[in-house]
Amino acid sequence: MDVMDHTSGSAAGSTSGPAVGSAVGAAASAFPPVLTTAMAAELLQVHVEYLRRMVREGRIPCHRFPGGREMRFLRDELLDWLRAQPGEDQSTSTGRPAD
C-alpha cells in the first residue's frame, strides 16, 4: 500500500524550546496518535522524502510493520523528539520581538 504525499514539498528548519511545546502542541492535537509517513512529514513541516531519509539514517523514531515497508510514527513520540533537538527557536509566531 502506497502513501499519497500531500505535503507542500517545502522543508523547514528545526525548532526547539518552549515554542515547540505551545505552538506545535496546539496544532498537533489535530493529528491522530498514529501517523502515516505523509502525515508525520506534514506535522514536522518537512518533505516526505526528507523524513524517509531521516528514518533510513536512524535519526528519527519510526515503527515498521512486519516486512519492513510500511512505516508509522507516534505523534507524541515525534513531538518529544522535536523538543529534544538542539537549536534556538527561530519562529516568528511566538510573539517574541525579532533580533
Identify the pLDDT of residue 81: 94
Helix, strand, coil percentages (3-state) for the chain, rounded to 5, are 40, 10, 55
Domain range for residue 34? 18-84
Indicate whether 24 belongs to any domain. yes
CA distance 60 to 54: 6
Indicate whether 70 belongs to any domain. yes
Q: What is the CATH number of the domain that holds 56?
A: 1.10.1660
Q: How many domains does the chain have?
A: 1
Indicate whether 37 belongs to any domain. yes
Q: Could you read off the pLDDT of 74-85 as tens digits, one per residue?
A: 999 999 999 999
Indicate whether 27 belongs to any domain. yes
Average pLDDT across the chain, whole number: 77
- Sign of the Cα pseudo-torsion (36, 56, 75, 9, in order): negative
Indicate whether 95 belongs to any domain. no
**Using DSSP, how many helices (H) and how many strands (E) does the chain show?**
5, 3
Indicate whether 61 belongs to any domain. yes
Q: Could you read off the pLDDT of 6-28 as tens digits, one per residue?
A: 333 333 343 444 444 555 567 78
Identify the pLDDT of residue 66: 87
The letter for the amino acid at 7 is: T
Indicate whether 3 belongs to any domain. no
